[in-house]
Amino acid sequence: MEVASTGTRTLMGVMHTYRMAIIGFLLLVSASGQTAVQRYFQLVVPDGVRAGTEIEVRVKVGTEAGAGEQIGFLHVEASRDGGKQWLPVAYEQNLGLAFEHSWRVAAGPAGARTLFRARAAFRGGVAGDVDYQGAAIRWHDTWAGWQEPPAVHGATEVR
């Protein structure tokens, strides 16, 4: 009797182990089917231009988060004086799932750098107001200070 009893306990222990392994496998498979939310945000400017020309500044921004998330805000600014004064290039709202556009900005004088900054907020989805990395927007902190994220920066040398 003792052998049968031990055998039954051993068999039940093995079945429990298999059951737990199967449950763990199923959880792993279902979790691996969930992909990270994809958001992207690029600011593209040339490394250098000649004085008296225009600089093309290009922005690509988008979200694949679904559930109603869209590009809620996009701001682009330029500075020809080292960041002391910023001039608006674009202030856009409610741009949908993806937006790509370029603008032309007059280059500063030879020897100067034209700085660019852009920031985007994704809104309307289950995550709330987030930056391109998915973190909650801190409106009075990183947003107001043009910090990365939610901002991106670029510079063009004027020759």
- 142 and 102 share one domain: yes
Indicate the residue type of 147: Q
Q: Could you read off the pLDDT of 74-116 as tens digits, one per residue?
A: 999 999 999 999 999 999 999 999 999 999 999 989 999 999 9
- 18 and 43 share one domain: no
CATH at 136: 2.60.40.10
- 17 and 48 share one domain: no
Q: Which domain holds residue 29?
A: 1-34
Cross-strand partners of 41:
61
Structural domain tally of the chain?
Answer: 2
pLDDT at 108: 85
Q: Encoding tokens for residue 126?
A: 């289950």
- 129 and 92 share one domain: yes
Q: Could you read off the pLDDT of 25-68 as tens digits, one per residue?
A: 433 333 334 457 799 999 999 999 999 999 999 999 999 999 99
- 25 and 55 share one domain: no
- 137 and 152 share one domain: yes
